[in-house]
Amino acid sequence: MSQSNAEHLTEQVKVTTKLKALITRLGADATSLHADRQDTANGRVSLMHQILFEIEETILPRQLTLHFDQTIVATFRVSHRRLLSLDFAVDADQAKQPQRSEHRSAAQIYAQRLLHLSAMHQDAGFRITRQICETGIETESCSVAQLVDSLKMQQQESRLKGLLTKVSANVDAWILQAEGDDQHSCHGPAALTRQLTELANIDQTAKQKRGQALKMPEKAPSYLVLSMSGETNVILAWDRSETLLIALPTQHLTSFNTAWHSFFSSL
Amino acid sequence: MDITGRLNSLRETTPGCALVAFGDLSTQLVLRSSAAVQVRQEFLDQLCAQAEHGFCLQDALAGWNTPRGEGSAEVIVVTPQETRIYIRRPGAAQDTACDAILCVCDTESSARTLISPAMTLLHDLSEGA
């Protein structure tokens, strides 16, 4: 069998399998459909997975609208299994969303916007509605495969390391630790980094003991401000599986806050 | 005014404040709350767990760095969408030492304006006012 025939057959099998799954789903009773919706509301269905699935399933031009509970948060235009546009619904968020630049592909920009949406989505249930739409002259579209590649690349990068490069000039000491990793990188006076390491260990131990109760917000980055003395604060910043601990003079707290918001809202 | 009324008043008079709750850190239970929109009990429970965890870290840090090991009155948690501030009275008597006010605001500056009135509220509650 030639390679093109084999590819064609594989494609046909994929389509048949999808059709069978759809027919089975339509034939199922209403309780299982309700359970699907319940799973979505309970956050068991991954938002990212669902969005990628919707793009992959869309041939004719459609506008997809993403809702968190009752609020519209983003609209996507999709056609021929390609993402044509992704815009946040709230005006304020438009300013935060990553903009097109000379050096970045459409897939990279949309992947960043998807990650931002994923970070925004916390406890709320989500749903996606579809409407017929028209397409214009699209020059910045990308496929699901391109999106997945960009998402993988961006998720592999350590964002806290990126943040650290922006704030390191103003800090006294820092340590960067990955969950379940005994090794960590650090900088600063030994006494201070030792305290930060002990604090990181207390944090990790508590999280292992208490599990989900302390993983809040689960997906979004966050940071905690503690007081070391009248002049020094300690920051514990979490993102994905990493923790960054920083000791910094109190006078630089405001600039850290500004840098953190600017860094994470630009992703 | 009862405790719910005091929490309502605290929230309504602080611009940018979406939620004020009174909780017990030892049991990690929110006993009363006032919110601009209804929130799930799980969210309140998680706020209390996060507050307890924050003060646990704060106390460890204070134990290494202050002569009497007395921790700070507040812990702040910042997320992309909101700023949470947890407030307690470090010098409180043993039976009220675990009382805390838990607040969710839009900015850190808004959250910090709650420290003083929340301390007063905790003091009044400990006095049975």
Portion of chain B with pLDDT greater than 90, in percent:
62
* pLDDT attached to residue A54: 93
pLDDT of residue B51: 94
| A206 contacts B56? CB cut-off 8 A | yes
The two three-digit tokens of residue B125, written as one number:
């509650």
> Tens digit of pLDDT for each residue in B29-53?
899 999 988 888 888 988 999 999 9
* H or E segment to which residue A149 belongs: helix A144-156
Nearest to A222 among B65, B77, B108 (CB): B77
- A185-207 tens-digit pLDDT: 889 999 999 999 999 999 888 88
pLDDT for res B78: 94
| Residues of chain A contacting B19 with CB distance shorter than 8 Å | none
Name B68's Cβ contacts closer than 8 Å, sequence gap at least 6: none
CA distance A221 to chain B (A): 6
B104, two tokens: 């969710």
Q: For B54-114, give the DSSP string.
A: HHHHHHHHHHHHSTT-PPPSEEEEE-SS-EEEEE--TT--GGGTTEEEEEEESSHHHHHTT
- Report pLDDT for A4: 61
Return the HEC string of A155-197.
Answer: HHCCHHHHHHHHHHHHCCEEEEEECCCCCEEEECCHHHHHHHH
CB contact under 8 A, B54 and A214: no
Q: Do B46 and A216 lie within an 8 Å CB cutoff?
A: yes
* Residue A122 near residue A79 (C-beta atoms within 8 A): no
Sign of the Cα pseudo-torsion (A176, A257, B8, B35, in order): negative
Q: Are B72 and B62 spatial neighbours (Cβ–Cβ below 8 Å)? A: yes
- Supply B115's token pair: 């420290």
Residue by residue, pLDDT tens for chain A (267 residues) are: 456 666 666 677 766 776 666 666 555 444 444 444 444 544 446 888 899 999 999 999 999 999 988 889 999 999 999 999 998 886 544 444 444 444 578 888 898 888 878 767 656 688 999 999 887 766 789 999 999 988 887 776 778 888 888 888 899 999 998 765 666 788 999 999 999 999 999 988 888 787 666 665 556 889 999 998 889 999 999 987 789 999 999 999 999 999 999 888 765
Distance from C-alpha of B117 to C-alpha of B124, rounded to nearest angstrom: 10
What is the ipTM score, two decimals?
A: 0.91
More confident site: B7 or B126 = B7
Residue A147 backbone class (left: φ over 0; alpha: ψ -120 to 50; beta: rest): alpha
| A169 Cα distance to chain centroid | 28
Instruction: Find, in chain A, the residue whose alpha carbon is nearest to that of B45.
Output: A213
Tell me the average pLDDT across B66-91.
Answer: 86
Residue A175 to residue A165: CA distance in whole angstroms: 13
Mutate to test the interface with A, among B27, B38, B57, B88 (most CBs of A within 10 A): B57
Q: Is the pLDDT of residue B17 over 90?
A: yes
Peptide linkage before B117 cis (omega within 30 of 0): no
Using CA coordinates, name the residue in chain B closest to A222.
Answer: B79
Alpha-carbon distances of A120 from A97, A114, A124, A125, B112, rounded to whole Å: 12, 10, 10, 12, 24
Q: If pLDDT is split at 50, 70 and 90, which confidence band does B71 have?
A: confident
What pLDDT shows up at residue B80? Answer: 87
